[in-house]
A and B are shown apart, each in its own frame.
Chain A
Amino acid sequence: MEIAVSTRNISKTYPGNVEALRDLSLEFPRGQLTSLLGPSGCGKTTLLKIISGLLEPTSGEVEVNGKPVTGPGPDRAFVFQDFALLPWADVLRNVAFGLELRGVPVSEREDIAQQHIKNVGLDGFEKSFPHELSGGMRQRVGLARALAVESEVLLMDEPFSAVDEQTRRKFQEDLLGLVERENKTFIFVTHSIEEAVYVSDQIAILLPRPSRVHEILRPENLRTKGVSDIRRDPEYLDTVDRIWASLRSYVE
């Protein structure tokens, strides 16, 4: 198993001596989806932002494909919890925005964006503005934008927490297809146990204050099941139960 991203001995202390992460090491296999799961305040978003280069760790290092991370780079793309779309730009420009910032010429980037808009199922909404779309559709735009820049690593910060439950389930199914189709490494932050078990190849359970890796789980046979069979699989149910058992004492 080839490792795409690895974090070694990461510590993060915020001003005022608030310790968010202590000596955290994790490895993310290439082409797989790893979830960072834990109760709120366990530093999972902090870890994701350190991997993205938005935050600097107090100590320790992050490597992507063996190269140390010093800041945001073209090898990683981010999907935001609140979508972070430009409200004054239409869907086409929003999806192409990552490419626009990289200086890709208009016609070329619009072609690429068009393709990804189609892939996420937003055909026909190219000229719509974010405020005209539902929450779920907005996140599809955010996803298409991240896919359009062709990064190897996709960082997703609770991407489905701001959409309604039905849309969320559809997203989870689509995400499984995406992991299978694209040879990308996904790092997925969530606070939903069911979601983590459903979509992940590997689940890292983080515990808070200060945050550390409590356990790494690798559901073995769920990937071979159909999208609608996973939730009835005994392994799925057992894993969910086991995670809840180890987390429940940390929930107020």
Chain B
Amino acid sequence: MFIKGIRLPGMSSLIIWGLLWELVGQSGLTFFLPPLSEILITLYEIGDSPAFLKALKETAQAFTVGVSAAILIGIPVGILMGKNRLLDELLLPWVNIFLSAPLTALVPVLMVLFGFGMRSIIITTSLFAIWIIILNSRAGVLQINRSLVEMGRCFGATPLAAFVKIYFWAALPEILGGVRIGIIRAVKGVIIGQLLISLVGFGALFELYSANFLMSHFWAVLIVLFALAFTISELLATLERKFSYYAANR
């Protein structure tokens, strides 16, 4: 978008939306939408309240553990599927099913099997993230240039060396893409998990706020969550671009 030849930065229109929000809020049109300024003040106030910090800590914990598990399991499984045809044919249908399946439906099962606490939330988070990581790692390995593989063999690479020094790096751009999408899904997963198992983290906080009709508290938390999610996704996109310089000529 250009105005008089000056390029407006990409996200600058959010200022207009913010102003609009403030106006609607000030007009008192609806109780459910307090003015943005009021929300920001509340945000400042609850920023160091124990309940908020506890929710943030619990969520971060579940998120980190869940995502790490998904990455640590997903990447090797995906690479193995790319390298082994039998394994690929056995696992691929399931990966595709779980990639598109409404995983929310599985949360009640997790609640029965693993209780109403952190464990179920961590597993939900992993389940949301892992399938796309597997699928992308597999795709990354499948597109590895044949002559790179032959080069490794010609110069006497052991299977382990070929794996660590060639396959992993050659598949890295796709793997990172998968990890980025997986992490965005995990953010959604950890919140869905907490909403359904509403005893910990932000799930509990939302219950508290909505039971007491604390609208600006509610919006404050939402803004924090959305901003965090957006920041994570942008950071990962930047990281991905750093490695994409060789994606085109492998």
Contacts and interface: CB of A to CB of B under 8 A. Distances in A.
Whether the complex brings A and B within 8 Å at their CB atoms is answered: yes
Contact of B154 (A52, A83, A87, A100): A52
Contacts of A130: 246, 249
Given A78-B154, A130-B249, 14 more contacts: A54-B153, A72-B156, A77-B155, A78-B151, A80-B150, A81-B147, A83-B147, A86-B170, A87-B246, A88-B246, A100-B165, A101-B161, A101-B165, A131-B245
Main secondary structure of the interface of B (DSSP, over half): helix
Contact of A101 (B145, B150, B157, B249): B157
Interface in A37-78: 49, 52-54, 71-74, 76-78
A72 B148 contact: no
A86 B156 contact: no
B145 A82 contact: yes
Main secondary structure of the interface of A (DSSP, over half): loop
Given A87-B249, A129-B246, A77 B154 contact: yes
Given A87-B249, A87-B250, A73 B148 contact: no
Contacts of A88: 169, 172, 243, 246
Contact of A84 (B147, B158, B172): B147
B169 A78 contact: no
Interface of A: 49, 52-54, 71-74, 76-78, 80-84, 86-88, 97-98, 100-102, 129-131, 145, 149
Interface in B165-198: 165-166, 169-170, 172
Contacts of A101: 152, 155-158, 161, 165
Contacts of B166: 86
Contacts of A86: 148, 165-166, 169-170
5 contacts: A73-B156, A78-B150, A86-B170, A130-B246, A130-B249
Nearest to A132: B245
Given A88-B169, A101-B156, A102-B156, A80 B246 contact: no
Nearest to B155: A98
Nearest to B250: A87
Contact of B147 (A80, A87, A97): A80
Contacts of A84: 145, 147-148, 150-151
A149 B246 CA distance: 26
A196 to B, nearest CB: 22
Interface centre among A52, A71, A80, A81 (most CB of B within 10 A): A80
B249 A131 contact: yes
B183 to A, nearest CB: 22
A4 B248 CA distance: 40
Nearest to A78: B154
A54 B149 CA distance: 10
Contacts of B245: 129, 131
B173 to A, nearest CB: 10
